[in-house]
Amino acid sequence: MKKILLLFTIAVLSFMSCDYVVAPNQVGTVTVPLSDTVRKIFIEDFTGHTCPNCPTASRMLDSLGAAYPTQIIGMGVHIDYYAEPCPPHQLPSGATPGTFSEDFRVAAEDADYDLVFGSNSFGLPTGLVNRYGFPTSFPTAVTAWPSTVATILAQPMTAYIKIIPSYNTSSRNLSVNVTGNFMVDTTGTYNIALYLVESEIIGSQTDITFPAPGIDNNFEFNHVFRGCINTPGIVTGETINSGSILNNTPINYSTTNTYTVNPLFVDTHCKIIAILYKTSDYGVLQAAEVDLR
Amino acid sequence: MKNVLKLIICLLVGSITITTAQTNLNNIGGGQIHGNFDISAQYYIPDSIIGADTIPEKALFNGWSAVTYVNGKFSAGIRYESYLNHLNGFPSGYQGTGIPYRYASYNNDGLEITVGNSYEQFGSGLILRSFEERALGIDNAIEGIRIRYTPCKGVYLKGLWGKQRNFMSTGPGIVRAADGEFNVNELFGSRMENIKTQLIFGGSFVSKFQVDQDPFLVLPQNVGAWSARTNVIRNRINFSTEYAYKINDPSAANGFIYKPGEALFSSLSYSQKGLGIYLGFLRVDNFSFRSDRTAALTQLNINLIPTLTKQHTYALASYYPFASQPNGQTCWQAQMDYKLKKGSKLGGKYGTDISLNYSAAYGLDTTKLNDGTGKRFGYSSNWLPIGDTMYFNDLNVEIFRKFNQRLKATILFAHFIYNKNALEGKSNYPYINADVVVVDVTWKINSKLTLRSDAEHMLLGGKKESKEDYGNWAALLEELSIGDHYFIALMDQYNYGNKEPSRRVHYFSGQAGFFKGTNRIVLGYGKQRQGIFCVGGVCRQIPASNGFTITITSSF
């Protein structure tokens, strides 16, 4: 019997191991390519101004942007309960009357996000990292964004896209061309979706890291999702190619509608985001971002 | 020694053993095939008042069918699953059709080897429990090899190595696990015959591997957890306890902190005729254990933290269920079951069963550590005192009495205190105080007809609470069984206390069912309220819905 137990113990210990980590933080910086023809990651950050943990996601986007310069393209999608503007009786405890009046929601697009991704049942903050893992393991928790980004960046680039906007500052009408090429042989249906985002908006945000009552009245909201450019109200964009696609197949897409930028948006703070994705799993092949003007 | 050699051979060349076993099977005639079939489909009708969404497909469907073949020491099985598309509210990873569960197993001289998918539990499941809970959409079967070996009576060894099922595929992590259990009384046989105390000891070790690609952190690729347990039984007393420990396991569930985790689960029970007493204690600290560190919700859990709260089955009594908190909780439960004697003044002709139950769950007493640039433990915690944050409290009494051959009734009173912020990730909700009363009467009208009536009411305490949540509810169920083959049920849940008059909705539903042999067909129509559905402390959100349902089950 003793021999059996000894053998069992040895067998257990021999094939199992534990990695004790004494210094968890990486030393040095991550080396990343800086040219434009690199894989870029699109992160949809689902958030709300009365969500006290959501600034953590915003800071994570900043950290990832610093770790992978030019490769992280973020978009703050303000949804559901936590994004509602607060009338006086719903103000967060300790908030000054009149604050939290901003409404960053985009009604039709938010409804479509819910229809496609079930976003209204997400627990905030959370996100979609290149829509990776859909439909089996999404959304991606904020703390898992770095690992997911690293996993995606370890994969070879499969497409390249570039945005060429045409914006009339007087009429505020916008049309967009997207060019590029596929970089692998592939099959499937591929869409391009174009989004408008606005940054540098100062407003109120509950923040769990702030001293009580945990409210930052000078929070800077960046890359706030303002709407879909090529398919207003529909977040899935337009199909540009389907079937068998060969390596080096060019991408040449132009918007067919005239999109007028809302006069309430500060157009010098706005950017255009383009994503190319496969419709079967929403996986983003490549993303791009450019200033509106 | 012979057994030891057999164990080594089987561990090293398990696949060869299986091949040999299967070859031998060709010479064995007979064998039995068993199976079962289960489909659930719903046609959805949008209803903006209750929040029932428009479903693009209009009708959704889940289907399962399992077939098992048993021939002597050999067994094999598959389970076909189809989600076209999955029912609304079911985890979205279940898409399409496939055979995600299949296995073959051979058992010879105490050595059982299973290849393919298998379910397993070590001890109370603190460090490993793979199981299927279809109602929740949980199936974390391990795909790989499982070995169970009983070298002699009283010694039970288990080992497994594989990947966990992740919806229709497997997760990225690899799970390696071993468990040994020793029943002292069985082991020493006749020498322990006169000893009234039964002793069982056990120990487990589980390790998972997942590659580290994080740009900011050095993540442990191999994470180990161990546990030790014992069970002492003497006369009418049964005591069991298990302690588990896990090394640094940064994950999305714990915010990528490196603090080791630990858990303790103890229970003490006493039973005699007419009286049963149970006491339970559970403390969990940073013990979410998954084979994918980025997984969330009910996905890819290696272990299962049990819950110590009563599993209510009545509709309104289960309105505010407790969801087990693997990141940190201290829970206890006490229950006493007492039977008033037959023929006594209080007990009546058939006796009366009284069950008194109390359970509570609190957070841990923690101190936040600002060590993000250092060890990243995140927080420190104390065993005592327990934390200030109460998660859940349930005091309930249930009385069952049979009045005569035709009439029996159950009365339940329960008082809940529910922390919606902690348990549902909300903010700014006060504690919800809810009082629930249930009267459940079953009347056997004649030899063919039985009517069950179940009236329930939930009253939310305090004006503030009533304003903050959905307010008071009343429910009525009438269920008529007709012979052995039919039933009809009608139910209404009425949210008459909703703060918004337009949402004071009746959730009517009706079902009709037909049974014959092992076949069961149930048709239904009605509204289902949004809520949380839990089994064993594991929960998922149920969206509001409205429409027709059909459920068909069969087995052979």
pTM of the model: 0.78
Task: Choose the weakest-confidence range: A234-248, B15-29, B501-515.
Answer: B15-29
* DSSP helix, strand, coil percent of chain B (3-state; round to 5): 10, 55, 35
CA gap A188, A276 in Å, rounded: 12
Q: What are phi and psi of A290, to 5 degrees?
A: -150, 150
Per-residue pLDDT at B17 exceeds 90: no
pLDDT band at B27, cuts 50/70/90?
very low
Q: Is B207–A151 a contact, with Cβ atoms under 8 angstroms apart?
A: no
State whether residue B347 sits within 8 Å of chain A by CB: no
A2 touches B: beta carbon within 8 Å: no
- Banded model confidence at residue B131, pLDDT cuts 50, 70, 90: very high
The radius of gyration of chain B from alpha carbons, rounded to an integer in Å, stands at 26
Confidence at residue B492, expressed as pLDDT on a 0 to 100 scale: 96
Q: Could you tell me how many residues make up chain A?
A: 293
B55 touches B545 (CB < 8 A): no
Closest chain A C-alpha to B229 CA, distance in angstroms: 16
| pLDDT band, very low/low/confident/very high, at B29 (cuts 50, 70, 90) | low
Distance CA B363, CA B283 (A): 9
Q: Report the SS3 class of residue B192.
A: helix
Indicate the angle between helix axes A54-67 and A145-153, nearest 10 degrees.
Answer: 30
Mean pLDDT of all residues in B54-71: 93
> B93 to chain A: which residues are within 8 Å by CB?
135-137
Percent of chain B clearing pLDDT 70 (strictly above): 93
- Using CA atoms, how far residue B297 sits from A287, B101, B325, B556, in Å, is 29, 22, 11, 35
Contact by Cβ (8 Å): A251, A239: no
First to last CA, chain B: 43
The contacts of residue B198 (CB under 8 Å, 6+ apart) are B183, B184, B185, B231, B232, B233, B234
For the record, the structure tokens of B346 come out as 């209080």
Q: Is the pLDDT assigned to residue B25 strictly greater than 60?
A: no
pLDDT at site B486: 95
* Summary mean pLDDT of chain A: 88
CB B81 within 8 A of CB B97: yes
pLDDT of residue B15: 36
CA distance A66 to A39: 16
Rounded to an integer, the average pLDDT of B221-228 is 96
Percent of chain A with pLDDT over 70: 90
SS (H, E, C) B278-344: EEEEEEEECCCCECCCCCCCCCCECCCCCCCCCCCCCCCCCCCCCCCCCCEEEEEEEEEEEEECCCE
Strand blocks (E) in B150-286: 155-166, 169-170, 174-183, 197-209, 222-234, 237-246, 261-272, 275-285
Contact status, residue B533 vs residue B87, Cβ threshold 8 Å: no
Give residues 178 to 237 of B whose Cβ lies within 8 Å of A: 178, 180, 187, 205, 207, 213-224
A65 interfaces chain B, CB cutoff of 8 Å: no
Per residue in A259-273, pLDDT (tens digit) is 999 999 999 999 999
Percent of chain B clearing pLDDT 90 (strictly above): 72
Closest CA to B263 of B183, B199, B206, B336: B206
- Residue A119: pLDDT band by 50, 70, 90 thresholds? confident
Question: ipTM > 0.85?
Answer: no
Distance CA A113, CA B519 (A): 41
Q: Which residues of A touch B252 (CB under 8 A)?
A: 140-144
SS3 A137: coil
Q: Among A9-23, A213-227, B82-96, B224-238, name the one with the lowest average pLDDT.
A: A9-23
The mean pLDDT of B31-59, rounded to a whole number, is: 91
Query: CA triplet B254, B256, B260: central angle to 5 degrees?
Result: 70
Q: What's the pLDDT tens digit per position in B489-500?
A: 999 999 999 888
pLDDT band at B274 (very low <50, low <70, confident <90, very high): very high
**Mean pLDDT rounded to a whole number for chain B:** 89
Lowest mean pLDDT among A132-146, B156-170, B280-294: A132-146
User: Hey, are the CB atoms on B215 and A136 less than 8 Å from each other?
Assistant: no
Residue B11 pLDDT grade (very low, low, confident, very high; cuts 50, 70, 90): very low
Among B56, B168, B224, the residue with its CB nearest the CB of A16 is: B224
In this prediction, residue A12 carries a pLDDT of 59
B202: tokens are: 């056990």
For residues B135 and B291, which has the higher predicted lDDT (pLDDT)?
B291
- CA–CA separation, B174 and B161 (whole Å): 7
pLDDT at residue B4 is higher than 70: no
In the structure, what pLDDT confidence band is assigned to residue B512 with cuts at 50, 70 and 90?
very high
Phi, psi of A265 (to 5 degrees): -85, 140
Give Dmax (Cα) for chain A.
89
Q: What is the mean pLDDT of residues A81-86?
A: 87
Q: Which segments of B126-242 does DSSP mark as H helices, in order?
A: 184-188
Q: What own/partner pairs with CB < 8 Å and gap ≥ 24 does A29-37 have?
A: A29/A67, A30/A67, A30/A68, A30/B215, A32/A67, A32/A68, A32/A69, A32/A71, A32/A153, A34/A69, A34/A70, A36/A70, A36/A162, A37/A157, A37/A160
Beta-carbon separation of A17 and B4 below 8 A: no
pLDDT above 90 (res B248): yes
Sign of CA dihedral A228, A229, A230, A232: positive
Residues β-bridged to residue A190: A241, A278
pLDDT at B18 over 50: no
- Could you tell me where the DSSP H helices lie in chain A? 2-15, 54-67, 107-117, 145-153
> Which of A93, A115, A136 has the CB atom closest to B166's CB atom?
A136
CA distance B477 to B505: 16
Cβ-Cβ contacts under 8 Å between A and B: the total is: 142
Q: Are B129 and B538 in contact (CB under 8 A)?
A: no
Cross-chain residue pair B427–A52, CB shorter than 8 Å: yes
Q: Is the pLDDT of residue B464 over 80?
A: no
Mean pLDDT calculated for residue range B352-366 = 96
Q: Which residue has the tokens 């799993």?
A: A281
Closest CA to B388 of B358, B367, B410: B367
pLDDT digits (tens, 9 = 90+) for A241-262: 999 999 889 999 999 998 999 9
More confident residue, B165 or B52: B165
Determine the distance in angstroms separating the CA of A249 from the nearest CA of chain B, rounded to an integer: 31
> Are the beta carbons of B294 and A30 separated by less than 8 Å?
no
Distance CA B551, CA B556 (A): 17
Q: What is the distance between the terminal CA atoms of chain A, rounded to a whole angstrom? A: 79
CB atoms within 10 A of CB B29: 8
pLDDT value for B534: 74
Taking CA atoms, A100 is separated from A75, A119, A225, in Å, by: 20, 22, 18
Rounded distance, CA A74 to CA A64, Å? Answer: 10
Asked whether residue B479 carries a pLDDT value surpassing 90, the answer given is: yes
The answer to whether A23 contacts B151, with C-beta atoms less than 8 Å apart, is no
Nearest CA in chain B to A147: B214
The answer to whether residue A3 scores a pLDDT higher than 70 is: no
Q: What is the pLDDT of residue A35?
A: 58
Q: What is the spatial distance between Cα B161 and Cα B454, in angstroms, rounded to a whole number?
A: 48
State yes or no: pLDDT of A185 exceeds 50: yes
Q: Are strands A284-291 and A215-221 parallel, antiparallel or unpaired?
A: unpaired
Asked if the C-beta of A111 comes within 8 angstroms of chain B's C-beta atoms, the answer is: no
Q: Give the model's pLDDT for residue B389.
A: 93
Residue B462 pLDDT: 57
Instruction: Pick from A13, A16, A41 the residue to mutate for testing the B interface (most B CBs within 10 Å).
Output: A16
CA-angle at B392, arms to B386 and B393, nearest 5°:
95
Give mean pLDDT, residues B337-360. 94
**Res B465 pLDDT > 50:** no
If you ran DSSP here, which 8-state letter would residue B466 be given?
H
Query: Does the pLDDT of residue B113 top 90, yes or no?
Result: yes
Q: Which helix (H) or strand (E) element contains residue B113?
A: strand B111-118
Helix (H) or strand (E) holding B6: helix B2-12
Q: What burial class does residue A145 get, using C-beta atoms within 10 Å of its C-beta: 0-12 exposed, 13-18 middle, 19+ buried?
A: buried
pLDDT value at residue B374: 86
pLDDT at residue number B466: 44
Mean pLDDT for the stretch of residues B231-237: 95
Report the alpha-carbon distance of residue B240 to residue B126 in Å, rounded. Answer: 13
Band (pLDDT 50/70/90 cuts) for residue A209 is confident
What is the CB neighbour count within 10 angstroms for residue B53? 20
| Among B residues 255-314, those touching chain A with beta carbons less than 8 Å apart | 255-256, 258, 292-296, 299
Assess whether pLDDT exceeds 50 at residue B23. no
Mean pLDDT of A74-102: 86
**How confident is residue B93, by pLDDT bands cut at 50, 70 and 90?**
confident
Tell me the residues of chain A between 141 and 170 that have a Cβ less than 8 Å away from chain B.
141-144, 146-151, 154
Q: Which residue from B56, B218, B251 is facing A24, i.e. has the nearest CB?
A: B218
Residue type, B514: F
